[in-house]
Structures are given as structure tokens and as C-alpha cells.
Structure 1
């Protein structure tokens, strides 16, 4: 009998462990039922009402808002009684209201809210992008917004299921913190190279290339380019960096497929134009290299 209850207890413990493990993994999996959830854009008539509702769920906003109301009540009460202390309460209530409005303005900043996402949240968001393959359609980003709102709320990272107002905010995060962030080092290298290829006036007034840059032996430029490339490679080796690269590839492919399906004729002409331009550029480069060799 004791052996039976012992086995039953162990079986129950194993089952509970599996259920706990499943609950932990569930937020990372695609959930079709999330499609039935409403986004804040469907719940609120205006964005400003959504922003104010989220603002009132913050602890600091509750404190300063409550303090402003309390001081306003005291101001009215002592004003009716004819007590001069009502003036002091009125001044303090104005300061409390001003600080409350300042907090509201800060919380309305999109970047301020998105900076609250930690590495774990960003990993989940990148995996959702890779899994769902969003494109140029807003509806495709709305799906990810629903996933993230449910995940952040159930896991306790945010106190309401309304973190992202709609899919546009998710796309803004992707463009601001992934697409533009990864393009910045390449743009800096191109800008530095272009600025370094300046010309110097010779004695005869003829502009000539700097010999160090023309020969490719500029030490400053070489060090700068090497540091940029090293920083980019280091980011690629990080956990988030790998997912960012794959997410960018998936996004580019899905956007190309989307426009090819929406406007097949126009997309084909654009692709042919790009191919023709690239072919002409490569021919010019080859001709220039041959002329230099001669």
C-alpha cells in the first residue's frame, strides 16, 4: 500500500513538472487563439485615451494624480472656510498636476516605452517575426502585436495586455532598433570613405587625389574601417545579433513576396531594372580596372 501511494506521488510530481514546463514554454510558441484578442486600437476610440489609460496604470501616475486630487479637495474645503492655508494647498496642487502631466508626456513617448523591453522580451519578439514572417501589410504586424501583448502581460513584464497599440508600433520597434541600428555602421563606413576621398589643390591649381587615399594606404581610414567591421562581427556573434540577422532576412523575403503578389508586373519591371543597373555597374568597374592595368 505504501509503495502504491509512493508511486502515485511521484507520478503526480512528474505530471506537475511537465505542466509547469509547458506553461513556461507556451508564451514562446505561436498561439492561434491570440488572433481573437483585441488590440488597443480596437478597444479605444482614440490613441490619446489609450495613452491616458496606460498612464493611469503606472504607480507613479497614481501617486501624483491622487495627490493632485487630494490637494484640490483641500484647497476647495479651506477656501470655503475662508482659511488662508487654501492658497498653499492650491499652489501644491498645481505643482502636483504639472508633474502628473510631465509624466504623461514622457509615457507618451514611443521610445520611452519600447526601452522597457529587456533582452528576453526582444528575443521573443524576434522569434515571433521569424515565425510569422510579417510583410508590408499592417495586419501581418498586428498578429505579432497580439502575441507580444499576451506574452508580456501573462509573464508579468507589463501590467496590462495593451503594451503595443497596434502592429505599427511593433514595426517601429523593428525598424528603429534592428533595421536602422544594423545599417548605421555600414552607412558610417560609406560616409567616412566618401569624405576621405577628398581632393587637394596642387601648385598648378589642378585638383588631385590624396596619394595615401588613392593608394589605399591611409592608416586612419584602415583602422576606422577595421573597427567598424569588428564591431559588426561582434554583434553578429551575440545571441540577439544572430536572431536580428535572420529576422532581417525573413522580413526582406516576405516583403519582396508580398509586393510580387500585389503588383506582379511592376515588381518584375523593378527587378529587371535593378538587374540591368547592377550589370552595367559591374561592366564599368571591369573596364576601369582593365584601363588601370593598361
Structure 2
């Protein structure tokens, strides 16, 4: 790798077209809930938990014995609680921060340094768009819609910066 190549850039920070065609999840989804639901469905743990719940509930409705129904109901209750726990965990800022690790944090810092955003949300939209692209291309996030808006990118930058001071 030459000195001029930046391994954290992902090739999207310097594109002049980025400023013109910024598409963020808030432009694609009708609400934050639909974005949240779309993101959760792409987590393997959530899919497995939902599949197990559906399987147990099908078993409960297909069995005719009382012990089978009791067993299925108890297991279904535990799996439902597990699924809710997984949904809460994947929704937390802790999970988002862990997914970024060092590469994502460096990509965020490089994006902030290169775009030099102000407090205006429009300038942070460019950072969010570019960071979404970098995280998806590097496999750090399952979908290209990690950050909902520039406001979320600004909040992550502030929390990351102040947690390291």
C-alpha cells in the first residue's frame, strides 16, 4: 500500500458526487421504526430466535397431549424472552459501538477530518452517508443503512470523542 492510499477511506470520502446524491435511511424508510425493524431482521441472532419461536409455537399447536403443550408453552416463553433480549441488545448503543471497533471509529474520524462538518445537520449527512458506505463495504455492518441521519452520526462522534478525553 502506498503512502497516498488511505486504508480507512473506502474510496467514498473524496467523491464530489457524494455531496449531490446523499441518500440516508431517513429518505428511504417512512419512520425510524421501519428502519429499526429492517436492521434487526438482518441480524443472524434475531432470525434464529424468531425461527425457534415459530417452530415451538407450531409444535404447541400441532400436539394433542397436555404435557407437549405445557412443554412447548414453557419453551416458547423462554425463547420469546430470549428473542426480546436479543432485540434489545441489537438496538443498544453498546452493540453499535462494538460493531464499529477500531476500523469504524477511524473511518468516522477520517470522515470528520476530511469533510469538516459544522453543527449543521446537512454537513453531518455527508459524514453519515460516507460512513454507512464504508461500514457496509468493509463488512462491519450487515446493511448499508447503519446511521439513520447526520444527527446520529454527530451524536456518535460526540460520544466517542468525549469518552476518550
TM bin, normalised by shorter chain, reads 0.7 to 0.9
TM-score by length of structure 1 reads 0.50
In the alignment, the residues of structure 2 paired with residue 157 and residue 167 of structure 1 have an alpha-carbon distance, to the nearest angstrom, of 19
- Give per-residue Cα distances to partners, 1:128-176, cap 9 Å, x unaligned: 1111111111111111000010111112111110111111111111111
Once the two structures are TM-superposed, the CA of residue 72 in structure 1 deviates from its matched residue by: 0.9
Q: Aligned Cα RMSD in Å?
A: 2.5
Residue 105 of structure 2: aligned partner: 122
Q: Quick check: which has more Rg, 1 or 2?
A: 1
Q: Which has the higher helix share?
A: 1
Contact conserved, 2:108 with 2:157, CA < 8 A, in 1?
no
Unaligned 5+ segments in structure 2 are: none
Equivalent residue runs for 1:1-294 within 5 Å:
27-28=10-11, 29-35=13-19, 36-78=21-63, 82-84=64-66, 85-179=68-162, 181-182=164-165
Contact conserved, 2:22 with 2:125, CA < 8 A, in 1?
no
Highest RCO, 1 vs 2 (Cα 8 Å, sep ≥ 6):
2
In the alignment, the residues of structure 1 paired with residue 117 and residue 94 of structure 2 have an alpha-carbon distance, to the nearest angstrom, of 21
Once the two structures are TM-superposed, the CA of residue 52 in structure 1 deviates from its matched residue by: 2.1
When the two structures are aligned, how many residues end up with a matched partner? Answer: 161
Unaligned 5+ segments in structure 1 are: 1-16, 183-294
TM-score by length of structure 2 reads 0.85
Look up the SS of the partner of 1:162 in the other structure: coil
